[in-house]
Amino acid sequence: MKIAIAQLNFLVGDIAGNAAKIESAVRQAESAGAELLLTSELALTGYPPRDILLNSAVIARQERAVKELAGACRKTALLLGWARKAKAGGKPLHNSASLIYRGKILATHDKILLPFYDVFDEQRYFEPGSAVTLVKFKNLRFALTICEDIWNDKTFWARRNYRQNPLEALRKIMPDACLNISASPYWVDKPGLRRRMIAAIARGYRMPVVYANLVGGNDELVFDGAGMAFDAQGRLLAGGPMFKEGLLYVDIPVKKGAPSLFSYLISNHYSEPAPLGNGVRSSFVTCYNKLWPPFSSYQQVTNEDLTPLPSSVAQIYDALVLGLRDYVVKCGFSRVTLGLSGGIDSALVAAIAADALGPGHVLGVSMPSRYSSSHSKKDAQILAKNLGIHYWTVLIEPVFKAYLKIFKKIFAGLSANITEENIQSRIRGAILMAISNKLGHMVLATGNKSELAMGYCTLYGDLLGGLSPISDLPKTLVYQVARYRNSISDVIPERVFTKAPSAELKPNQTDQDSLPPYDLLDRILDSYVVKGEDRARLVKKFPKKTALKVLKGVDSSEFKRRQAPPGLKISHKAFGFGRRMPIACKIEHS
Amino acid sequence: MKIAIAQLNFLVGDIAGNAAKIESAVRQAESAGAELLLTSELALTGYPPRDILLNSAVIARQERAVKELAGACRKTALLLGWARKAKAGGKPLHNSASLIYRGKILATHDKILLPFYDVFDEQRYFEPGSAVTLVKFKNLRFALTICEDIWNDKTFWARRNYRQNPLEALRKIMPDACLNISASPYWVDKPGLRRRMIAAIARGYRMPVVYANLVGGNDELVFDGAGMAFDAQGRLLAGGPMFKEGLLYVDIPVKKGAPSLFSYLISNHYSEPAPLGNGVRSSFVTCYNKLWPPFSSYQQVTNEDLTPLPSSVAQIYDALVLGLRDYVVKCGFSRVTLGLSGGIDSALVAAIAADALGPGHVLGVSMPSRYSSSHSKKDAQILAKNLGIHYWTVLIEPVFKAYLKIFKKIFAGLSANITEENIQSRIRGAILMAISNKLGHMVLATGNKSELAMGYCTLYGDLLGGLSPISDLPKTLVYQVARYRNSISDVIPERVFTKAPSAELKPNQTDQDSLPPYDLLDRILDSYVVKGEDRARLVKKFPKKTALKVLKGVDSSEFKRRQAPPGLKISHKAFGFGRRMPIACKIEHS
């Protein structure tokens, strides 16, 4: 039996578009001779659908789509992720995987473990299932599971939040394979963890595991795809690439009277998106505002390449490129604009945008003030030239002067302070928004996680835009990822890496006038924000004064983050939806 | 037995401050001869604590506070709401109510029904309890419940999300009273619903119910307090006022060999915050940046006033005053500034701010442009004078001209559009933020819910500020609440009510150039956003073209709302934390 594992990129809420894409995948799997196709979790709605799930029309539309797809599955069965209505008296829906074939639903599994931590809200919508569903299809007994269902098994690693391990019952049952459909968002090095965990489960339960995952960016979340299959010895049989759309095939020999543990042929291939059919692609293009740039930076994956995953920085870079592209295009935009300061943050964002959308779709704007150094202007210009993006220079001095005149009058007698610094940042923001309004570009914010953590940024100034692509990268990681990008082609001038970071909002300013050295700051932030360590641990690990300054900086700038643009999550804990802090509060740390 | 029902206003996260306040309440209850004091739900952390609950130091600090309070309860027992550690293997905490007395925890109830809908995230943190806890104290058998535990009883009205009704077991047990501690956020007319529901439960189960609720504003949520007690016939024995801090007492006669259903004396009184002791008030003041304005607009409540609740508009106005004051003060501010356009929205916000903080703490800024009408400027000035707030005029023309000069250069050949309108709004926003930066004022946004729903507002312009007090009031409700405010004292000029609403960003503009008439728009928004009705229902109830325009307007402006300042929730469904929509999506409505 040949199984196809989908890595498809869905638009959240677009049931008809997503169903059409799935149907084209079914067609392709059919013509490739696959007998079963696995979609990702909640494929029809896209993930995360959030409160769209509370719209009854969306749920009804989904039911129609399931029926239509069932009719369309003549030769290839489909394991489809969707949100189905639950019985009255509990939460309204189940997060389900239905095996559909020749007009019928053969079996349905309802997700048992519903994640609720970090960015997840599944207990807001779904009633849990009670046990893994087993289904016999073409003489093979498959166990159906959804994402989190397999993440609480002690074989390798277990979450500490659930009392139940849905896999436990499979020890006795010994299915011929365990199928898992997921929408497992990316964070750095998670794909390696996922592989090792699933391999351990396959080996531990002596059953093959076939795993399908969503690909694409949906708001803050980027999904890496990377479908895979393991044999009962935990050996990798098939591994799809990260951040790439397409179908992954794995061949399985089925004998008459098949043994309960069957072996796979070590043979698979990965197909490019093109064969998904012109229908899909063209409806996609229409829906996404006539722009869906080719994934030209990726190469065909061969078996030999499967085992090693890309390096962490390469993973992150690819995640940011996909996340930026999907956000921009799925919001109906095709062009972006950003301020180029001559610093490393805007340089990296410009490079990501150029790689994601094509340099012709990116406009970099240099907006020097009286405090801007000559090297800043020069470096911005060289970067734009190297990337081949559009480049404008707009002097903010006349507007700045007009504001200063007002301030002189209304703030008579008061000395200059952060006010005069912020206004420069806000003038730049207003100019970028004017470009957005006039030309239909999306503005990209260029701030990093270290700044956002400490509130070292200007609300309605540099913290402005439709998307903040690198807001989950601490400053030290910004440098590393920028280095990685330069290793592909040398686009960011060397001086941008070596000069002292500065906001250049007053004479001779550097970031370290206000912030601890970035290498120390980022380690403290990793401890407090990402690992969630408490004050006692912080003051033990780091210089006390600095640790407490960082703690206070993070706590007191929540109001800025609440109004920040969405950022792309690439760490275990990003600011935004997965970190829900009150604003008007006083956190007592000891 | 005399029972005291606390209506205390806590600062989220401030365990020491909240514990000190509770201890002072214990002292006062003691000297009033009360044998039992009920706090609100999660009193020690404040509500909603959100991800502060994941900080292990906060949890440890709470445990210490419980011990200290237990030691302090010598004569009066305390039913205390707190988050206690749960056993390993599930979610980390319980949402608990502990009866503590003379150094000991006599009994603890863990909340069974954990709300997860709208603004609630309790299933993110808490492991549910399994049954109502019963405790015998001074010969009376009390059933302990927490908030939602009593909201799934069919006697009056039931949520449809839970399979369990924790009260059901009490039919057989027949406790002497059911105690409920809550953090039940306000929405319009909910206090009446709550009263009727609790009365029905008391009557239906033939048991007295004593109910304590949180008071105060915490970020988007305002809690109205309004503690109460009913006898076993469902008669109101005691009812605390809405939006007011203090202790409510109810006297209960206890006989030797008390009957299982005891009767209350119809006697109670409500005490003002002052008797809570100087210790509390002064520590409060210190913590809240030296400003905690007196609740002078409230009157002493007598028994005669208890039964009728204030009218809807009066409730809403009081909720906004308290919500604004608490947000500003709990964020460490004492002064606010806002733009005064001469329109009804900014007029209402100015009145609320003046009532909340005192007119001397409010600065209204008129920022006319070349398109501002003379009546706008005049009306703003009269309003400021009537309210007694500070008033500045700042002309934006010089900055506007400087921007237009830039636009002429970079947008050569392109005609004027929304760009030139938005920039005026953004100049005003930048001036208000400069005032905030220079003088330490919090900026108040003045937008209403109708605008926010349709995206009829400028990101980083009028949609800017620390708080957006009326962002949950549709335009038609803004007029009603403003009328109510004028009925107290005539502060908003009559012309502000009668003239056609306009943003005045281009010549002869009115809101209705872009939006449907407000009375129709607001009814459609109520249907779609508040009631969650779907497309089919909308086009049946309203003119189809208009209904679809509104649907599209709401769906497509999510990106603005994501970056909007927090707003005060006064409706059943507000934008913000309780409505979680994706941005990059396409909602398929049919």
User: For residue A121, which residues of chain B lie inside 8 Å, CB to CB?
Assistant: 121, 580
pLDDT above 70 (res B399) = yes
Class of residue A373 by CB neighbours under 10 A (exposed 0-12, middle 13-18, buried 19+): middle
State whether B52 and A582 contact (CB < 8 Å). yes
Active site residue A111: yes
pLDDT, mean of residues A47-62? 97
Class of residue B227 by CB neighbours under 10 A (exposed 0-12, middle 13-18, buried 19+): buried
B590 pLDDT band, cuts 50/70/90, is confident
B81 pLDDT band, cuts 50/70/90, is very high
B235 pLDDT band, cuts 50/70/90, is confident
pLDDT, mean of residues B504-516? 92
pLDDT above 80 (res B25) = yes
pLDDT tens digit sequence for A36-47: 999 999 999 999
Is A196 within 8 Å of A553 (Cβ atoms)? no
DSSP three-state, residue A143: strand
Q: Determine contact: B215 vs chain A, CB below 8 A.
A: no
User: For residue A580, which residues of chain B lie inside 8 Å, CB to CB?
Assistant: 50-51, 121, 124
A89 pLDDT band, cuts 50/70/90, is confident
User: HSE (CB half, 13 Å, CA atoms) of B147?
Assistant: 27
pLDDT above 60 (res A271) = no
Gap between the Cα atoms of A301 and A309, Å rounded: 12
DSSP three-state, residue A475: helix
The CB density around residue B429, as the number of other CB atoms within 10 Å, is 25
List the single range of A210-224, A498-512, B419-433 with lowest mean pLDDT.
A498-512
Return residues 81-100 of B near A (CB < 8 Å).
88-91
pLDDT for the residue numbered A307? 58
pLDDT above 50 (res A392) = yes
A265 pLDDT band, cuts 50/70/90, is very low
A103 pLDDT band, cuts 50/70/90, is very high
pLDDT tens digit sequence for A62-80: 999 999 999 999 999 999 9
Which H/E stretch holds residue A280? helix A278-287
Residue with more model confidence, A253 or B88: B88
Chain A: residue whose CA lies nearest to B566: A562
pLDDT above 90 (res B586) = yes
pLDDT above 90 (res A586) = yes
pLDDT for the residue numbered B253? 54
What domains are defined for chain B? 2-310 (3.60.110.10), 335-562 (3.40.50.620)
pLDDT for the residue numbered A299? 31
Report the greatest alpha carbon distance in chain B.
93
pLDDT for the residue numbered B302? 40
Gap between the Cα atoms of B424 and B402, Å rounded: 12
DSSP three-state, residue A90: coil
Provide the total of helices (H) and of strands (E) in chain A, helices listed first.
Answer: 17, 21
Nearest to B585 among A12, A117, A559 (CB): A12
Q: Which two tokens stand for residue A471?
A: 């807001």
pLDDT for the residue numbered A77? 98
Supply the residues of B annotated as catalytic. Answer: 41, 111, 147
List the single range of A10-24, A311-325, B305-319 with lowest mean pLDDT.
B305-319
B272 pLDDT band, cuts 50/70/90, is very low
pLDDT for the residue numbered A253? 54
pLDDT, mean of residues B38-63? 97
User: For residue A124, which residues of chain B lie inside 8 Å, CB to CB?
Assistant: 116-117, 123, 580
At A582, which amino acid appears? P
pLDDT for the residue numbered B424? 98
Nearest to A426 among B327, B433, B566 (CB): B433
Return residues 446-475 of A near B (CB < 8 Å).
459-460, 464, 466
pLDDT above 80 (res B256) = no
pLDDT for the residue numbered A37? 97
**Residue A37 phi/psi, 5° resolution?**
-125, 130
pLDDT tens digit sequence for A424-464: 999 999 999 999 999 999 999 999 999 999 999 999 999 99
Is A94 within 8 Å of A59 (Cβ atoms)? no
Gap between the Cα atoms of B588 and A46, Å rounded: 12
pLDDT, mean of residues B409-437? 97
pLDDT tens digit sequence for A129-162: 999 999 999 989 999 999 999 999 988 888 878 9
pLDDT, mean of residues B449-475? 98
pLDDT above 80 (res A302) = no
pLDDT above 70 (res B300) = no
Q: Which two tokens stand for residue A258?
A: 């098949």
pLDDT above 80 (res A284) = no
Return residues 345-364 of A near B (CB < 8 Å).
none
Is A183 within 8 Å of A48 (Cβ atoms)? yes
Quick one: residue B214, left, alpha or beta (phi over 0 = left, psi -120 to 50 = alpha)?
beta
State whether A57 and B407 contact (CB < 8 Å). no
pLDDT for the residue numbered A157? 80
pLDDT for the residue numbered B252? 65
Gap between the Cα atoms of A469 and A442, Å rounded: 12
Gap between the Cα atoms of A468 and A487, Å rounded: 24
Mean pLDDT of chain A: 90
pLDDT tens digit sequence for B173-220: 889 999 999 999 999 989 999 999 999 999 999 999 999 999 999 999
- Which among B268-272, B309-313, B360-364, B502-506 has the top mean pLDDT? B360-364
- Strand runs (DSSP E) across B74-220, as ranges? 77-85, 93-101, 104-110, 133-137, 140-146, 152-153, 157-158, 177-182, 209-213, 215-218
pLDDT above 80 (res A486) = yes
- ipTM for the whole complex: 0.91
User: HSE (CB half, 13 Å, CA atoms) of B490?
Assistant: 4
